[in-house]
Amino acid sequence: MAAQSSAYIAGAYEHPTREAPEKSTMQLHAEVARGALADAGLAKDDVDAYFTAGVPEYESGLSPLIMADYLGLEVSYADTTDYGGSSYISHVGHAVSAIRDGKCDVALITLAGRPRSRGQATGSGARSIRSAQDSFERIYGATNIGMYGMAAKRHMHEHGTTPEQLAEIRVAASHHAQYNEDAMFQEPVTVDDVVESRVVSDPLHLLDCCVISDGGGAVLVVSEDVRSRLERECVEVLGHGEAVGHHRAGRIDLTRTAAEQSGTRAFEEAGVGPEHVDYASVYDSFTITVLEAIEDLGFCEKGEGGTFVENGALKAPNGDLPFNTDGGGLCSNHPANRGGMTKVIEAVRQLRGEANEEVQVDADLALAHGTGGSIGTRHGAATVVLGGEDR
């Protein structure tokens, strides 16, 4: 196979806010776009493609139009793939394809939202019936935490996973968050803190859940041509894969996610395996989301995630698989209830050597993985494998 042209992440920016009552969601999109351009050393007029999953709070189906209008973008390419929180990882892959096809050279991807300012609480019940499936799910009070609770319970039943093992994931994230001055929760916690926090939906406790925060982030994916003109250290997108997991007509398996497929595809494209990964950003809506993903991505065997995370495997800088060194969605930030964007951004920081000093890993190869929607019904899985410049 002829070598394909490469594409690079040239700019990455996470909004420092976690609560923005005075700002509009659109304004946050604009602020993160400006931040990513400044990071890359690119100008607004350089952008010729725009990617976003939608604009929560406006519920408009015309997000590329309202956003290009608001941001004042002139684009030759747009994509609004919406897989929930994993969307932004998919967008990176889609941007690479569009760049390889010669459709664009500078792709801007943005995320922003303000669920905290809107007063959303952990375990909120969705009341409206909007899709064919809602009449068979939401009527039963199917919330995200109820569904992930069912997944955790089934995983425990089949594999002997314990609440204490799930808690280790929060413990590692909190260990990292203490060095992130923007993190919502910077205090390190213990396994006891997690399992003694109140049960929201068994077996998941409050500290098994991610934060609810306002904010956003943006990344810029650029062509080889553009990259060669930039001073800024860029990160190569080596592989991308995605997949959709769902009911399979009544045969849902709550212990497995579509990361099995998205991970395999991303690793194949990159020509590497899980054993080569120095750092992993893993979607962490709940602790169980991480546990199932690291099994499905091949970092350990199915069912051995609990044993794997014990004894600090996820802790940077010396664990076997340092993860979410910004504190992740569990402790730092989960803007718009969508964690895919910050997963990409922290992976870029790690590869550039710009993570917080105490958690900086000697990383040449990083992975970012997203699980959007709900593994309790249907979810999008998206994985990218990224390489540092000095690899």
Partner 1 sequence: MSWEPRPTPEITPETERYWSAAADGTLLVRECTDCGLVYHYPRALCPDCFSDDVEWKEASGEGTVYSYSATQSMSGWPEEDLPLVLAYVELEEGPRVMTNLECDPEDVEIGTRVTVRFKAVEDADAAVPVFVPRE
Q: Which residues bind partner 1 (CB under 8 A)?
A: 121, 123-125, 127-129, 132-143, 145-147, 149-154, 157, 198-204, 247, 249-252, 254, 377
Nearer to partner 1, 16 or 141 (CB): 141
Q: What contacts 229, CB < 8 A, 6 or more positions away?
A: none
Distance CA 335, CA 56 (A): 11
Minimum CB–partner distance for residue 210 and partner 1 (Å): 16
Cβ closest to partner 1, residue 209 vs residue 238: 209
Least distance in Å: CB of 163 to partner 1? Answer: 13
Nearest distance from residue 22's CB to partner 1, in Å?
A: 24
Q: How far is the CB of 248 from partner 1 (least distance, A)?
A: 8
Q: How far is the CB of 132 from partner 1 (least distance, A)?
A: 7
Smallest separation, CB 144 to partner 1 (Å): 11
- Check if the beta carbon of residue 284 is closer than 8 Å to that of residue 290: yes
> Minimum Å distance from CB 119 to partner 1?
9
Q: Smallest gap, in angstroms, from Cβ of residue 363 to partner 1?
A: 36
Q: Is 362 left (phi over 0), alpha (psi -120 to 50) or beta?
A: beta
Q: Which is nearer to partner 1, 48 or 296 (CB)?
A: 296
The 3-class SS string of the chain reads CCCCCCEEEEEEEECCCCCCCCCCHHHHHHHHHHHHHHHHCCCHHHCCEEECCCCCCCCCCCHHHHHHHHHCCCCCEEECCCECECHHHHHHHHHHHHHHCCCCCEEEEEEEECCCCCCCCCCCCCCCCCCCCHHHHHHHCCCHHHHHHHHHHHHHHHHCCCHHHHHHHHHHHHHHHCCCCCCCCCCCCCHHHHHHCCEEECCEEHHHECCCECEEEEEEEEEHHHHHHCCCCCEEEEEEEEEEECCCCCCCCCCCCCHHHHHHHHHHHHCCCHHHCCEEEECCCEHHHHHHHHHHCCCCCCCCHHHHHHHHCCCCCCCCCCECCCCHHHHCCCECCCCHHHHHHHHHHHHHCCCCHHHCCCCCEEEEEEEEECCCCCEEEEEEEEECCCC
Q: Which is nearer to partner 1, 347 or 375 (CB)?
A: 375
Amino acid at 162: T
CB of 156 to partner 1, least distance (A): 9
Nearer to partner 1, 3 or 198 (CB): 198
Closest distance to partner 1 from the beta carbon of 290 (Å): 18
> Encoding tokens for residue 225?
């041509």
Token look-up 């139009």 returns 65
Pick the closer one to partner 1 by CB: 27 or 124.
Answer: 124
Which C-beta is closer to partner 1: that of 252 or that of 382?
Answer: 252
Residue whose CB is less far from partner 1, 194 or 355: 194
Strands 106-113, 49-51: pairing kind: parallel
Whichever of 61 and 198 has its CB closer to partner 1, that residue is 198
Q: Which is nearer to partner 1, 33 or 200 (CB)?
A: 200
